[in-house]
Amino acid sequence: MAKKICLLLHRKSANEPYVKEAVKAVQSEGIKLRVLVPWNKTEKPKVVREALERGAERIIAGGGDGTINAVATALIGDGSEKPRTSLGVLPLGTANDFARGCGLPTDDLAECLRIACTREARLMDVGKVNGRYFVNVASAGFGAEITATTPIELKKKLGGTAYSLVGLAKVFNLTPYTGRLLIPGEDPLSGEMLFMAVGNNHYAGGGFDVAPEAKVDDGLLDLAAIRHPKSFTLTQLSKELEDPMNPENEFLYYRQLPEFTIEADKKLHCNLDGEPVLKKKLAFSVLPRHLSVAY
């Protein structure tokens, strides 16, 4: 394999036997793979930059969606030009939503690593909010609030279902967010919102298809917002979720847009590829077909 390939591993995963087995399996096939283990979260961008300086042609993010975001962000830099180095994915997180949305066999690490090393990369859109990048999904509202406030140990015990189980238990005790959706060239849309997802890819919260119409290379972000008027019922919402693009939907608002802004009356909990953000204003845009990803 002529490419210079680096695998950046989350520190907690580096000594796991199943990870070592996957690396050995791929290396035994003649694939040269350099393993890098940043000491902590803040060191990841530095390790990526050093790998690029040494001529890395593909950097594989070994970890959860947060690790993938960190590597992608380091590759993108200021976003002024497309990175020459491509991204691979070794899904080692709790939910692995990005990998799932890319159709990777998340139950077969060796195959995932083989794909990350050898498959030709394809150009993918990159989402941007308030100057920060995301490649999967940005969610806001009660789902993101639960994610931000659920103890880590509980997430580990429940796995991906932590987002839904705890969320459902609390949703009716939470006050909906009030705010406005601002789309260039259109009148502002005001109202109350329980949940919002902005998808470049499909899944969030451990396998929930929050952006069912999303495509990673269409130059658009899929906005799915659950509104909360007085007539709100879960029964009607479940019906609308089966046909998200129906313009007659009352509770589910679904649009595909290149840019828009969300303004809330209080700070919104936002989950950006697994990383928490707390802001009153979220300005979204997209870098079309900007990052090469092997999947």
Q: Which of 94, 125, 156 is the last residue of a domain?
A: 125
The least confident of 3-12, 76-85, 122-131, 214-223 is: 3-12
Q: Is residue 295 part of a domain?
A: no
Looking at residue 175, what DSSP letter applies?
Answer: P
More confident call, 195 vs 38: 38
Same domain, 283 and 222: yes
Same domain, 217 and 249: yes
Give CA–CA dist 63/76, Å, rounded.
19
Q: Pull the structure tokens for residue 137.
A: 């999904």
Which amino acid, one-letter code, is at 158? L
Angle, alpha carbons 71-72-76 (nearest 5°):
120
More confident call, 108 vs 154: 108
Same domain, 284 and 167: yes
Residues marked as catalytic: 275
The CATH code of the domain that includes 74 is: 3.40.50.10330
Q: Which of 90, 108, 125 is the last residue of a domain?
A: 125
Q: Which residue from 76, 125, 177, 74 is spatially nearest to 285, judged by alpha carbons? A: 125
Same domain, 240 and 269: yes
Give CA–CA dist 207/273, Å, rounded.
13
Percent of the chain exceeding pLDDT 70 equals 87
Q: How many domains does the chain have?
A: 2
Give the model's pLDDT for residue 161.
40
* b/e sequence 241-261, b meaning 16+ C-beta within 10 Å: beebeeeebebbbbbbbeebb
Q: Whole domain around residue 110: which residue ranges?
A: 5-125
> pTM for the whole thing?
0.87
- Over residues 16-43, mean pLDDT: 94
Q: Which of 100, 125, 150 is the last residue of a domain?
A: 125
- Over residues 33-55, mean pLDDT: 93
The dihedrals phi and psi of 245, each to the nearest 5 degrees, come to: -85, 0
User: CB-based contacts of 80: which residues, under 8 Å, 6+ apart?
Assistant: none
Give CA–CA dist 32/163, Å, rounded.
38
Cα–chain center distance at 64: 10
Contact status, residue 258 vs residue 104, Cβ threshold 8 Å: no
Q: Is residue 168 part of a domain?
A: yes
Label residue 169 by pLDDT band (50, 70, 90).
very low
Same domain, 143 and 243: yes
Q: Is residue 67 part of a domain?
A: yes
Sign of torsion, CA 31 35 41 43?
negative
Give the model's pLDDT for residue 6.
97
Same domain, 191 and 231: yes
Strand 189-199 with 177-182, pairing? antiparallel
Q: Is residue 121 part of a domain?
A: yes
The CATH code of the domain that includes 186 is: 2.60.200.40
Q: What is the CB neighbour count within 10 angstroms for residue 87? A: 24
Same domain, 146 and 279: yes
Q: Is residue 191 part of a domain?
A: yes
Same domain, 106 and 156: no
Q: Is residue 294 part of a domain?
A: no
Same domain, 105 and 192: no
Q: Is residue 184 part of a domain?
A: yes
pLDDT of 221-272, one tens digit each? Answer: 999 988 877 787 777 877 887 888 898 999 889 999 999 999 999 888 888 8
Same domain, 15 and 152: no
Q: Pull the structure tokens for residue 60.
A: 């594989």
Statement: residue 61 has pLDDT above 90? yes
Same domain, 47 and 96: yes
Same domain, 77 and 159: no
Mean pLDDT highest for which of 71-85, 143-157, 184-198? 71-85
- Beta-strand runs (E) in the chain: 5-9, 33-36, 58-63, 86-91, 122-129, 132-134, 137-141, 177-182, 189-199, 203-204, 208-209, 221-227, 252-257, 259-272, 275-293
